[in-house]
Chains A and B, each alone.
Chain A
Amino acid sequence: MTAITLVAAGAVTGVVAAVFGAVLPRRLRVTAAAVLVWAACSFEAAAAIHVLAVGRPIVAHSQGLLPVTGADVVLNPLGALFVLLVVMVAVPATMHAIGYSRHGLDTRTAACVLPLFVTTMLLVPAAGSVATFLWLWEIMALTSLLLVLANHVRREAARSAGVWYAVMTHLGASTILVAFLIVAAGADGQSFAALAQHARHLAPGVRALVFMLAVVGFGSKAGVVPFHVWLPKAHPEAPSPVSALMSGSMVALGVYGVILVGDVLLGGGPAWWWLVVLGLGAISALFGALHATSSTDMKRLLAYSTTDNVGLVFLALGASGLFAAAGHPMLGALGLVAGLVLVVNHAAFKGALFLSAGSIQAATGTTDLDQLGGLLRRMPQTGALFMVAAAAICALPPLNGFIGEWLLFQSLLHGAAIGSTAGELAVPLAVAAMALTAGLTVVAFVKAAGIGLLGRPRTKSVEVAVEVPATMRLAVGVLVAACVVLGVFPMLVLPAIERAAKAAQPSVGLTPLVHGVNVQLAGLRGLLAPAELTLALMVAVAGVVTIRRVLARHPAPRVLQAWGSGREIQTARMQYTAMSFAEPVQRVFDDVLRPVQDLDVSHSAESRYFVESAIFHSAVDDAIERGLYRPVIRAVRRWGQAARRLQPGSVHRYLGYGFGALIVVLIAVAVIG
C-alpha cells in the first residue's frame, strides 16, 4: 500500500464515519462514528509516521476531487507532525465523546459533523495548494461552528458564542485568502511549491503585507491577543470533547499556518516581522494568564490559558525568526523546535484538562468553580488525572510542560547576545514576560485544582456526583500518559520534531539537539536529563517519606474540623472561593483586568441597622473586547440602523429604486457610449 493510499483511506473513512453518525439510531451513532474516526486517525497517523521516518513528502494530485483546480496533497514532515498532533487529541476526544454524548453530541447533526471536523483537521496539514487548503480550512471552521452551537437550544449563551466565533473565524479566513491571493497572483499555478518559488521575487513590502495578513488570519484561529475574544465565549459553550479538539488541535493548526506562510512560503523575513510575532506572543501569554487567574468558570479559565500557551508558542516562533534574521541559524532552529514542542505539549495537557472538565461537567452539571469542590474524593481518578495535567501545564519538572519551557528559555537566554539592538531589547523582555506568565499560570491552576477538587462540595449536585464511565477516564488517561511520556522520555519524539522543523526551514536544516537519552543543545551549553531528573525526584520523595517515618516522634495526628473562626455552625459556603482566591491578583493587575464589583444591600423597613439581603456581584471584563470590539460592533449596528431607513417595506419604494437605478445606468451608458 503506498503512502498516498493511506491518506485517501483516512479521508474516506472519516466521511463514512460522518455518514454513519447521521444515519444510525441515537444509541449507536456516536460510538460508531468514534470507532470509524479512530480508523481514520490510524490511517493518517501511519502516513504521517511514514513521512517522518522516510523524510520525503507524500505528493499527489487529483483533478476530479475539487472543481477547476483539483486537489493537491503534499504531506511533508512539518505537516506530518501536526497530523500526529491532531491524532493524539482526536482519538481520546472521540473516545470521551461516547460517554459525554447525552450532553449535546448525540444529535444527528453533531454525530455527523464531529467526524468531519476531525477529518478536515487531519487533512489540513496535508493540503498542498491554496484551493485545497482553503476548502479544508473552511470546512473545518464551519463544522467546528456547528459543534459550538450543539447546545444552542438549551443555552442562550451558545448562540452569542456561535456568532462571535463565526465572525472571528471568517474574518481570519478572509485575511488568509487575501494573503494567498497576493502571492498566487503572479505565481505559476497555485500549489504551495509554486507560491514559494514566486514569493522570493516579491517586493519586500508585499512580502511583509502577506506575512502580516497571515499572522492576523491564522492568529485569529490560534487565539492570539487581540483576536482571542471568541475563545472564552466558544469554549465554555461547546461540548467538552469539541473544546478539547478546538483548543488542542485546531488552535495548533493556526500555528501551523503561521509557520507555513512565514517559513515555508516566504522563507523567513526581516527581524521586524518576527518582533511583531514575538510581541503578540508575549502580550497574549501575559493577557491569557492574567485572565485565567481571574476566571471562575473552569472552561473559561482553560480557554484563556489556551491564549496564554499559544502566546508562548508565538513567542518561540518570533524568537526563532529573530535569531535566524540576525544570522544565528542554530538558535533559530532551536527556537522553532521549542515552539513545536510547546504546541505538542499544549495539545496533550490542554486536551486532558478540557476532557476532564467535561467529565466534571457530565458528573455535576456545572463547570463553575464556585459551585464545585470536594471532587477529588467523589471522582478520585478523574480528579487525580486533572491534577497531573494541571501540574504539566504549570511546567513542573517530570512532566512535558517543563521540557517545552526549558527549551524556550534556553533559546531565549542564549539569544540574549545576538548583536542587534532590537533583539537585545526584546529578548530580556520576552524572558521576563515568560517568567511572569509561568507564575500566573501556576496561580490559575492551583485555583482550578484547589477550589474545584479539594475542600467540600458547595452544591447538592456536586455532593452526589459519582465517577464517570471508564471510557471517559481512559480518554483523559491516554492524554495524561502522553504528558508523562513526553516529559520523561522527550527523546522519543524530539527527533521527529526536529525533522519537522527542518522541513519548515529548509535553507537552514540544522539539528539543534544532540541525540541521546538526554536533551542536549548542539553547539551551546545546555543539558537536561529528564529521566535522571525523574529518578532523582522519586528517590528524594521516597527519602523524605522514609526519614519522616523513622524520625516521627510527634503524637498521632488529630482529625478536627477545619478552622472556621470558631463559629458554631460551619457550612461549605464558608470555604475559600475562586473569586476570593483571584482577588489579590485582580487587585494588583486592576489596570488590565478592570474588575467590576458591586455590593447591593437592602435594609429592613423598620431599621437601617438590619440587613434584609445583600447581593455581591463581581465580574472581570475583557479589556480588548470592550475597547476594540464593542465600538466596532456599535458602529456597525448604527450603520445597519441607518440602512434600514432605505428599506421601509413599501413595494412602491423598491420599484422606485429599481427604476431610478435603471435611469442612472441608461444615462451613464449614454454619456460614456
Chain B
Amino acid sequence: MLRALWGPRATEPLARNEDATLGPSELVGSLQLRHVDAGSCNGCELELTSVFGPVYDAERFGARLVASPRHADGVLVTGPVTRNMAVPLVKTVDATPQPRVVIAVGDCACDCGVFRGGYGVVGAVGDVVPVDISIPGCPPHPTAIIEALRGVTRR
C-alpha cells in the first residue's frame, strides 16, 4: 500500500507516432467519444476499458468517453453490426454533431472477423455508416487504439 501511495505512478509513458495525422483539424486537442457496441464479443470492450483506465490513460492525450452522442465528437464502434444494432448505430452516428469521426475498433468492426456471414450480422461497420479510422486487431492492443486516438488529437 505504501508503494501505491508513494511509489511511481502506474501510467505507462507512451511515445507518439508523429506521422499519424487522422481526422478533421477541428478535433485536434480534444476528442469526446461515444462508444457503441454493435454486437461485440466484449473483447474490444476490455481493451477500451484499459485504454481509459489508469495504466494507458487516454484522457491525458485529450480523448474522453461521454454518455451521449450529443456531447460527442466521435463514435467508437466495436463488433460486427448485428441486425438489432444497425438502426441504433445509424441513429447514434446521425446524432453526433459534425465535424465527427467514426472509429471502427477491432477486426469485427473492420471486416466482421470470425462472424462474417453469420445469420444475425448485417455487415462490417463500414457497410452501415461511413468509417474514418479503422483499428485492426482481435482485440487491438490498447497502445494501438491510443495511437489512433492520438492521431486525431495530435497530442
Residue of A nearest to B98 (CB): A555
CB distance from A157 to the nearest CB of B (A): 40
Contact A566 B68 (CB under 8 A): no
Flag whether B95 is at the interface (Cβ < 8 A).
yes
Contact B88 A567 (CB under 8 A): yes
Among A555, A563, A568, point to the contact of B95 (Cβ < 8 A).
Answer: A563
Residue of A nearest to B99 (CB): A555
* Interface size class of chain B, counting residues whose CB lies under 8 Å from the partner chain: 10 to 19
Q: Which B residues touch A561, using CB under 8 A?
A: 91
Q: What separation, in Å, do the CA atoms of A568 and B88 have in the docked complex?
A: 7
Residue of A nearest to B36 (CB): A566
Flag whether A552 is at the interface (Cβ < 8 A).
no
Chain B 60-82 interface residues, beta-carbon cutoff 8 Å to A: 68-70
Residue of A nearest to B87 (CB): A568
Give a binary string over B91-126; 1 marks a CB under 8 Å from any A CB, 0 the rest: 110110010000000000000000000000000000
Flag whether A560 is at the interface (Cβ < 8 A).
yes
Contact B68 A563 (CB under 8 A): yes
Q: Which A residues touch B88, using CB under 8 A?
A: 565-568
Contact A563 B87 (CB under 8 A): no
Flag whether B33 is at the interface (Cβ < 8 A).
no
Q: Which A residues touch B91, using CB under 8 A?
A: 561, 566-567
Flag whether B89 is at the interface (Cβ < 8 A).
yes
Q: Which A residues touch B94, using CB under 8 A?
A: 560
Q: Which B residues touch A568, using CB under 8 A?
A: 87-88
Contact A566 B87 (CB under 8 A): yes
Q: Which B residues touch A560, using CB under 8 A?
A: 94-95
Residue with the highest number of chain A CB atoms closer than 10 Å, among B69, B91, B92: B91
Q: What separation, in Å, do the CA atoms of A443 and B67 have in the docked complex?
A: 24
Q: Which B residues touch A567, using CB under 8 A?
A: 88, 91
Q: Which A residues touch B95, using CB under 8 A?
A: 560, 563, 566
Q: What separation, in Å, do the CA atoms of A566 and B68 have in the docked complex?
A: 10
Q: Which B residues touch A565, using CB under 8 A?
A: 88
Residue of B nearest to A563 (CB): B95
Residue of B nearest to A567 (CB): B88
Q: What separation, in Å, do the CA atoms of A558 and B99 have in the docked complex?
A: 12
Contact A563 B69 (CB under 8 A): yes
CB distance from A452 to the nearest CB of B (A): 23
Contact A563 B70 (CB under 8 A): yes
Q: Which B residues touch A563, using CB under 8 A?
A: 68-70, 95
Contact B98 A566 (CB under 8 A): no
Q: What separation, in Å, do the CA atoms of A558 and B98 have in the docked complex?
A: 10
Q: What separation, in Å, do the CA atoms of A567 and B85 have in the docked complex?
A: 9
Residue of B nearest to A570 (CB): B91
Q: What separation, in Å, do the CA atoms of A268 and B128 have in the docked complex?
A: 78
Q: A560-B95, A563-B69, A566-B87 are in contact. List 8 more A-B contacts (CB 8 A).
A: A555-B98, A558-B98, A563-B95, A565-B88, A566-B36, A566-B92, A566-B95, A568-B88
A sample of 17 inter-chain contacts (CB < 8 A) reads: A555-B98, A558-B98, A560-B94, A560-B95, A561-B91, A563-B68, A563-B70, A563-B95, A565-B88, A566-B36, A566-B87, A566-B88, A566-B91, A566-B95, A567-B88, A567-B91, A568-B87
* Partner-B contacts on A (CB < 8 A): 555, 558, 560-561, 563, 565-568
**Shortest Cβ-Cβ A-B pairs, 9 listed:** A566-B88, A566-B91, A563-B95, A568-B87, A566-B92, A563-B70, A560-B94, A563-B68, A560-B95
